[in-house]
Amino acid sequence: MRQPVFKILLVGGIFALSACGEAGKTDVTRAVSNAAAAEAESIREIMLTVAEPREAVAYFQRQQEIEPDEIDHQRGIATSLVRAGRQAESVLAWQKVVDHPDSGNEDLVFLADAMIRSSDWAAAKIVLDTIPPTHETFARYRLEAMVADSNRQWDRADSFYETAVDLTTTPAGVMNNWGYSKLTRGDTDAAERLFTEAITYDPKMFTAKNNLVLARAQRRNYALPIVPMTQEERAQLLHTAGLAAVKQGDLDVGRSLLTDAIDTHPRHFEAAVRALQTLG
């Protein structure tokens, strides 16, 4: 009686060991697969951010040849074309992404962005109008504000800018755009305030510093604002203030500012030298 029982236990043990072996193989396969996916995602992120744009375009094109229906490869190509400054091609690439069955509303936002970069504002507005109002993202409202600006719909632009600012923790760029919009409308006080706020969020944003100098210069206030700046930035801002003074007919002030810019710059400041020579 004991022998059959022993055989049953032995067979059961073999089956158990076999099952454990199969489970172990599955775990190893899953681990290898996860590691490969993680590595692929890491390479993708590098290509989308720090890789040379032409190299990134080529990389995603090779990946698409392997997996032609994978939408992430198509997105990678489109994003990299934008980074490479190949705007006309990027519009076509984003249109291909939008036509993919797995595309979403954010892809429409990227298509509109590519169109704006190509100066096709009318087409960008048409695309933005197809996005449902429930898709509330910083990128969407930033573009909505820019399109409204281009159509001189000031109240609409202000509303979109305000919404965009509330939807991001890094609003310096959109504040700078909003400030420039205010500056073009002649609202220098609001422009100056927005440029100052932009610099508060990003003390290294030279564009906002330069725009702030322009806003102050429109009121004939040519003194540099009290904001963080390097010696070279100070020279460049003095140059901006000098040119603004000359444009407004304040020639003596302009000469003085341009001379200060040349003296301040840590290297030879050719642009300021030429401007001063032009004044005679």
Phi (first) and psi of residue 5, to 5 degrees: -60, -45
- 31/77 same-domain check: no
Is the confidence at residue 47, as pLDDT, over 50? yes
Query: How many whole angstroms separate alpha carbon 269 and alpha carbon 231?
Result: 12
Give 3-state DSSP helix, strand, coil % of the chain, rounded to 5.
75, 0, 25
- Report the SS3 class of residue 82: helix
- 37/60 same-domain check: no
Residue 156, CA distances (Å) to 70, 159, 174 in order? 38, 5, 15
Higher pLDDT, 105 or 21: 105
Is 209 part of any domain?
A: no
Is the confidence at residue 6, as pLDDT, over 90? no
Model pLDDT, residue 1? 46
- 19/56 same-domain check: no
Point out the domain boundary residue: 125, 155, 175. 125
Copy the structure tokens of residue 217: 């210069």
Is the confidence at residue 19, as pLDDT, over 60? no
Is the confidence at residue 41, as pLDDT, over 90? no
Query: How many whole angstroms separate alpha carbon 131 and alpha carbon 136?
Result: 10
The count of other CB atoms within 10 Å of the CB of residue 89 is 17
Is the confidence at residue 36, as pLDDT, over 70? no
Is 15 part of any domain?
A: yes
Point out the domain boundary residue: 90, 125, 160. 125
Residues spanned by the domain of 100: 52-111+118-125
Is 95 part of any domain?
A: yes
Is 217 part of any domain?
A: no
Is 164 part of any domain?
A: no
- 32/18 same-domain check: yes
Is 259 part of any domain?
A: no
Model pLDDT, residue 20? 54
- 28/78 same-domain check: no
**Which H or E run contains 280?**
none
- Max Cα-Cα span within the chain: 119
- 37/83 same-domain check: no
Higher pLDDT, 13 or 196: 196
Q: At what angle do helices 2-49 and 71-83 cross, to 10 degrees?
A: 20
- 20/65 same-domain check: no
Point out the domain boundary residue: 66, 96, 125. 125
- The amino acid sitting at 129 is D
Averaged over 111-125, what is the pLDDT? 97
Token look-up 């290294």 returns 204
Query: How many whole angstroms separate alpha carbon 228 and alpha carbon 211?
Result: 14
Distance of alpha carbon 171 from its chain centroid, rounded? Answer: 12
pLDDT band, very low/low/confident/very high, at 232 (cuts 50, 70, 90): very high
Number of structural domains, the chain? 2
Read off the CATH number of the domain in which 71 is found. 1.25.40
Is 11 part of any domain?
A: yes
pLDDT band, very low/low/confident/very high, at 45 (cuts 50, 70, 90): confident
Model pLDDT, residue 24? 58
Q: What pTM did the predictor assign?
A: 0.80
Is 201 part of any domain?
A: no
pLDDT band, very low/low/confident/very high, at 70 (cuts 50, 70, 90): very high
The count of other CB atoms within 10 Å of the CB of residue 267 is 7
Model pLDDT, residue 50? 86
Model pLDDT, residue 166? 96
Would you say 241 and 259 are in contact if contact means Cβ atoms under 8 Å apart? no
Encode pLDDT of 144-163 as tens digits.
Answer: 999 999 999 999 999 999 99
